[in-house]
Amino acid sequence: MKKQICAVAIASAISMPVMADFLGVYAGIDYRTTTTSYSSIDSDFEDTNNLSGYIALEHFIPLIPNVKLKYSDLSTTSAMGGNEPSSSAVNGILYYQLFDNGLFEFDFGLAYTAVEDIKSQSADLGQAYGAAKIHVPGTGMHAFAELIGGSVTDDNATDAELGLAYTFNPDSIIMNFSVRAGYRYQEMKINDRTQENKGLFAGIEAHF
């Protein structure tokens, strides 16, 4: 029995560095130029600069999903009167990494989404989540896409982004970071009123 315990302890000690390779925290922030439109409102909205951010935890345990939390400030400014109606979207995501072979990654899961439009209407949604990365071999460059959509209620929302990223020091076991840029489209439909937010973004991501 003691020999078995020692063997398990040694195997665990040896495997710890390997398992550590499958533990990671990703945190990012994006700066966006956002164009906003809203059904039933005739006045135009000025393009605004907004921030969005996210944090994700990925691990090595097969049956337990990874976790990601996203926040988007979708507030805007009215061209008539200078009002600044607030709006936001929050996503809590549970997902599995179905493929990760160094060239291609694909994630799939479920999302809980809480949205509030510029008329202070809100909705809570259950949605599907998908994300993919395609890496350029021999470089720190990759293309990425992410989509949150669908709903089990009459209200609905879509969050789609597409872009390119470059990772500095990708082989670091302590921390690396990426710069990223792309295009993002968000739509929410609450009580038959539709709000659209779209535009370019640029940001930075740190991986611990």
- 17-76 tens-digit pLDDT: 333 346 889 999 999 999 999 987 666 788 999 999 999 999 988 899 999 999 999 999
CB 72 within 8 A of CB 199: no
For residue 196, the cross-strand partners are: 37, 187
Q: Is the domain 22-207 a CATH 2.40.128.100 member?
A: yes
Strand segments, DSSP code E, in 65-207 are: 66-73, 77-78, 88-100, 104-116, 122-135, 141-149, 156-168, 176-190, 193-207
Residues 116, 122 contacting (CB under 8 angstroms): yes
Q: What is the pTM of this model?
A: 0.85
pLDDT value for 42: 60
Q: 102 exposed, middle or buried (CB, 10 Å; 0-12, 13-18, 19+)?
A: exposed
Structural contact between residues 110 and 92, judged by C-beta atoms closer than 8 angstroms: no
Residue 189 has pLDDT above 50, yes or no: yes
Query: What is the C-alpha separation between 130 and 205, in angstroms, rounded?
Result: 19
β-strands 176-190, 156-168 pairing: antiparallel
Average pLDDT score over the chain:
87
Render pLDDT for 66-113 as a digit per residue (tens, 0 to 9): 999 999 999 998 877 667 899 999 999 999 999 888 899 999 999 999
Q: With contact defined as beta carbons under 8 Å apart, do 96 and 110 qualify?
A: no
Is residue 195 scored above 90 in pLDDT? Answer: yes
The full set of domain ranges for the chain reads 22-207
Which pLDDT does position 169 carry in this prediction? 81
Token code pair at residue 194: 């539709």
- Indicate whether 207 pLDDT > 70: yes
Which is higher by pLDDT, 174 or 130? Answer: 130
